Chains A and B, each alone.
Chain A
Amino acid sequence: MSNTIFDWKKDRSMFPEPDKDGKPVVELDSQKYIKVWQGPNHPGVTGNMALELTISGDEVMEAKTHVGYLHRGFEKLFERRRYMQCFPTSIRMCVPEPDINEYNLSRGTELLSGIEVPEMAGWLRMIALEMARLQVLLRTVPGQGGTIGLGLPAQWGLYYRELILDRFEELTGGRIYHMYILPGGVRGLLPDGFKKRLEDNLVKIEAFMKEVDRVVYSNAVFKKRTKGIGVVPPEWIDQYGATGPVARAAGYKRDVRKDYPYLYYDRLDFDYNVEHESDVFARFHVRRKDVDTTIDLLRQIMAKMPEKGELRAETPNVLHWKIPRGETLVRCESSRGEYLFYMVADGSIYPRRINLRGPSYTHGVVLLEKLLVNANISDVSSIMVSLATCPPEIER
């Protein structure tokens, strides 16, 4: 359906003019371009970060990510905090989905000090992790429409997310920062009737996802706006270190839960959600399917988990928990992709180094900068959200 009159794809050779190396040169002085900052105060960017866009008309010529607006120096702060004290601090590293930080830090600490977590605690961790994933997906899946002006489902999504947050509040005592998974185990058993209430919510969320399907997924304009936009060629995936839904939308079967099973994910039955188009729509679709998987996983967990059990393994006194020298790599699957902690212990009560590498670290900087070139300025926020850029985990 290429329509030559309306196909405004210009002859790219005209501008920007390439230099000797074939690299395009964007000269602001030439008056052909204007520089636009999206962010840090801009409704289209995810969180507090900025994109420096050089545009010509509506087209982005050059994009540069600016981060650091949320830099708190966590990795420095860890040097001054005991292992147990790291855990409330660590979770602030990813605001929308804090539980993965709790889990990774706890797991790393346990691995380094050789502690095995009781089985019950493991299952409870899985509940928390999956609920966190669901909670994020309820923001991002309808939120994908929000980036291009379809704010209604995003608003609904926030309500259904509230339901999960209610369950979190009940289980963990916190709404956003749950601080539930801690080194050695978890901080509370399921309250009475929790499973039933969660199941009720899951039913509601399933019905809501049907609605999202109707309003967002099969929406003519949404498809028009997202298909073929922000295509990540499959060969870029490894080159740019993309993981999670971005990799899966490009046809790669990558899911930490299946590839490197942690907790009891190997006892659950689920599959990779793979798409092949690798555009914004495909990534949205992968996430949409992830919602179903997550709901299914939550049901499986509730069915398979033991009724009773220990909350927490016996650990050394947390006030002076010394961990012998060693290093480890902990990974888990966040809603955005592979989430890693690299931990080095030096035998003292303080960790030597805890380094976080979230998926946004590569998605939000190199990949985004690359994808935005020649994109329409209207699609910038849509592409950014489809990569699920989360600035706090880039900056820590």
Chain B
Amino acid sequence: MSEKKDIPEDMFLAPENRKHTVTGPDGEVIHVDPLNDYFCQDLPKVEAPYKGVLEKFLNWARAESLWVLAYGTGCGSIELPPLFSPRFDAYRFGVMMRPTPRQSGVLIISGYLAVKTLKRAIRSYEQMQNPKYVIALGSCTINGGMYFDSYNTINRLDHYLPVDVYIAGCMPRPEAILAGFNKLKERIKSGNAEGANHYAENLEWYKANQKKIIKDWNMPTYNW
């Protein structure tokens, strides 16, 4: 497909991420490969759940305290603020927005994902800690939606991230999203929401899919 055959390996890398050499104050020349040196290269592990009542209790707590990453990836994010508005008040269901992926357990993919956003969404997802859940809003995440023929939006999310719950609609109303949260809670409580472990188990497959689309993969395989 590509016309140019001899693309340098680091063509898409940001300048600061390319391999380069630095001369120290004492004249020592240091070779730096930022991707290898600055980032953690470990891959995720499957974190086995506890057994029995303890896991059930923890799952209950996880289900009743869903911290959502405040990342509006697509147009569905216009219905997320109303979710926390006086009328719908998702807080009372234990749902809360967190601005940082580290502290969030739920990633809402609100609709279509442009390739550029997919990269960030993957990064955000990987920065979240196990257990983590993905809610997919709208048609676009199921089979491309309106943008099924667009050159810049993915068609199905389950090829790139493990999705727990899909909510139909374009875009789903806050009520439907709340219903989606209920479904997710059920799923967590039943112990089926092991998306993070699934992702760790099938990392190769997911990565192959992701790398097929994201041509400028200027990050480590797994972004801790």
A–B touch (CB < 8 A): the answer is yes
- Which residues of A line the B interface, CB within 8 A? 28, 40-43, 47-48, 68-73, 76-77, 80, 88-89, 92, 95-96, 139, 155-156, 158-159, 161-162, 165, 175-177, 392
- Which residues of B line the A interface, CB within 8 A? 16, 69-75, 77-79, 81-82, 84-87, 97, 99, 101, 112, 114, 116-117, 120, 124, 146-147, 149-153, 170-171, 173
Knowing that A69-B114, A69-B120, A92-B75 touch, tell me 9 more A-B residue pairs with CB under 8 angstroms: A41-B124, A47-B72, A69-B116, A88-B146, A95-B77, A155-B85, A159-B85, A159-B86, A159-B87
- Known A41-B124, A176-B79: A70·B99 in contact at CB below 8 Å: no
Q: List 23 A-B contacts (CB under 8 A).
A: A41-B69, A41-B70, A41-B101, A48-B72, A48-B74, A48-B77, A48-B117, A69-B114, A71-B114, A71-B152, A72-B147, A73-B152, A73-B153, A76-B151, A77-B149, A92-B75, A95-B75, A139-B81, A155-B85, A156-B86, A161-B82, A161-B85, A176-B171
- Provide the residues of chain B in CB contact with A88, threshold 8 Å: 146
Q: Distance (Å) between the CB of B98 and the closest chain A CB?
A: 10
| Distance A42 CA – B100 CA, assembled complex (angstroms) | 8
| Distance A176 CA – B76 CA, assembled complex (angstroms) | 10
Closest 3 CB pairs of A and B: A158-B85, A41-B71, A159-B86
Q: Name A66's closest neighbour in chain B (CB-CB).
A: B116
Q: Name B121's closest neighbour in chain A (CB-CB).
A: A41
Q: Name B71's closest neighbour in chain A (CB-CB).
A: A41
- Provide the residues of chain A in CB contact with B99, threshold 8 Å: 41-43
- Provide the residues of chain B in CB contact with A95, threshold 8 Å: 75, 77-78
Q: Distance (Å) between the CB of A72 and the closest chain B CB?
A: 5
Q: Are B173 and A175 in contact (CB under 8 A)?
A: yes
Q: Are A80 and B149 in contact (CB under 8 A)?
A: yes
Q: Are A76 and B120 in contact (CB under 8 A)?
A: no
- Provide the residues of chain A in CB contact with B97, threshold 8 Å: 43
- A-B CB pair tally, cutoff 8 Å: 90
- Provide the residues of chain B in CB contact with A69, threshold 8 Å: 73, 114, 116-117, 120
| Distance A155 CA – B86 CA, assembled complex (angstroms) | 7
Residue from the set A42, A69, A88, A161 with the largest chain B CB neighbour count within 10 Å: A69
- Provide the residues of chain B in CB contact with A47, threshold 8 Å: 72, 77
- Provide the residues of chain A in CB contact with B149, threshold 8 Å: 77, 80
Q: Are A71 and B85 in contact (CB under 8 A)?
A: no
Q: Distance (Å) between the CB of B221 and the closest chain A CB?
A: 21
Q: Are B120 and A72 in contact (CB under 8 A)?
A: no
Q: Distance (Å) between the CB of A317 and the closest chain B CB?
A: 23
- Provide the residues of chain A in CB contact with B146, threshold 8 Å: 88-89, 92
Q: Are A73 and B120 in contact (CB under 8 A)?
A: no
- Provide the residues of chain B in CB contact with A176, threshold 8 Å: 78-79, 171
- Provide the residues of chain A in CB contact with B150, threshold 8 Å: 72-73, 76-77
Q: Distance (Å) between the CB of A391 and the closest chain B CB?
A: 10
- Provide the residues of chain B in CB contact with A159, threshold 8 Å: 85-87
| Distance A95 CA – B81 CA, assembled complex (angstroms) | 13
| Distance A92 CA – B111 CA, assembled complex (angstroms) | 11
Residue from the set B70, B75, B78, B173 with the largest chain A CB neighbour count within 10 Å: B75
Q: Are B152 and A72 in contact (CB under 8 A)?
A: yes
- Known A48-B77, A162-B85: A43·B70 in contact at CB below 8 Å: yes
Q: Distance (Å) between the CB of B123 and the closest chain A CB?
A: 9
Q: Are B86 and A158 in contact (CB under 8 A)?
A: yes
- Provide the residues of chain B in CB contact with A41, threshold 8 Å: 69-71, 99, 101, 120, 124
| Distance A48 CA – B72 CA, assembled complex (angstroms) | 6
| Distance A77 CA – B146 CA, assembled complex (angstroms) | 10
Q: Are A162 and B116 in contact (CB under 8 A)?
A: no
- Provide the residues of chain A in CB contact with B87, threshold 8 Å: 158-159, 162
Q: Are B86 and A72 in contact (CB under 8 A)?
A: no
Q: Are B114 and A177 in contact (CB under 8 A)?
A: no
Contact of B151 among A73, A92, A158, A175 (CB under 8 A): A73
| Distance A80 CA – B146 CA, assembled complex (angstroms) | 12
Q: Are A40 and B117 in contact (CB under 8 A)?
A: yes
Q: Name B85's closest neighbour in chain A (CB-CB).
A: A158
| Distance A176 CA – B85 CA, assembled complex (angstroms) | 15
Q: Name B72's closest neighbour in chain A (CB-CB).
A: A48
Q: Distance (Å) between the CB of B48 and the closest chain A CB?
A: 30
Q: Distance (Å) between the CB of A23 and the closest chain B CB?
A: 19
Residue from the set B112, B116, B117, B146 with the largest chain A CB neighbour count within 10 Å: B116
- Provide the residues of chain A in CB contact with B79, threshold 8 Å: 175-176
Q: Distance (Å) between the CB of A62 and the closest chain B CB?
A: 15
Q: Distance (Å) between the CB of A316 and the closest chain B CB?
A: 24
Contact of A68 among B74, B85, B114, B147 (CB under 8 A): B114
| Distance A42 CA – B171 CA, assembled complex (angstroms) | 22
- Provide the residues of chain A in CB contact with B75, threshold 8 Å: 70, 92, 95, 392
- Provide the residues of chain B in CB contact with A165, threshold 8 Å: 82
| Distance A92 CA – B120 CA, assembled complex (angstroms) | 22
Q: Name B173's closest neighbour in chain A (CB-CB).
A: A175
- Provide the residues of chain A in CB contact with B153, threshold 8 Å: 72-73
Q: Name B100's closest neighbour in chain A (CB-CB).
A: A41
- Provide the residues of chain A in CB contact with B71, threshold 8 Å: 40-41, 48
- Provide the residues of chain B in CB contact with A73, threshold 8 Å: 147, 150-153
| Distance A75 CA – B57 CA, assembled complex (angstroms) | 51
| Distance A159 CA – B134 CA, assembled complex (angstroms) | 27
Q: Are A70 and B85 in contact (CB under 8 A)?
A: no
Q: Distance (Å) between the CB of A350 and the closest chain B CB?
A: 13
- Provide the residues of chain B in CB contact with A42, threshold 8 Å: 99
Q: Distance (Å) between the CB of B177 and the closest chain A CB?
A: 12
| Distance A177 CA – B101 CA, assembled complex (angstroms) | 29
- Provide the residues of chain B in CB contact with A43, threshold 8 Å: 70, 97, 99
